[in-house]
Amino acid sequence: MRAYFGIFRYALVMKLYKGSHSVYKTQYHIVWSTRFQRKILVPGVEAYLRTKLVEITRYYPDWHYVEIGIDKDHFHLHMIIPPRHAISIYLKSPQ
């Protein structure tokens, strides 16, 4: 009985995304670092970077950011991308 409630609680917490013929939750943890580990991601650059990341979701509305973490020399993205998109498309887009 206890295992049943554990599975039920997991189903409530985990959100699944639905496509036309699939159900998915593909999560990616992407880390970009600055060239030569220079500490250039100051607050102004950080704000600009966040606006650009939001602009990308205008072109790909089914991409979801779970978490964005920005440090002085690198930033982390934890995101969900549908299986119909290749991750390489996203990695090329900020350039």
Domain range for residue 77?
Answer: 2-92
Q: Write down the mean pLDDT value for the chain.
A: 81
The answer, yes or no, to whether residue 4 has pLDDT greater than 60, is: no
| pLDDT-wise least confident of 18-22, 38-42, 74-78 | 18-22
Tell me, what CATH number does 69's domain have? 3.30.70.1290
Query: Rounded CA gap, 16 and 21, in Å?
Result: 13
Query: Rounded CA gap, 34 and 40, in Å?
Result: 8
Confidence (pTM): 0.69
Where residue 87 falls among pLDDT bands split at 50, 70, 90? Answer: confident
Q: How many domains does the chain have?
A: 1
What pLDDT shows up at residue 20? 81
Instruction: Give φ, ψ of 67 to 5 degrees.
Output: -155, 145
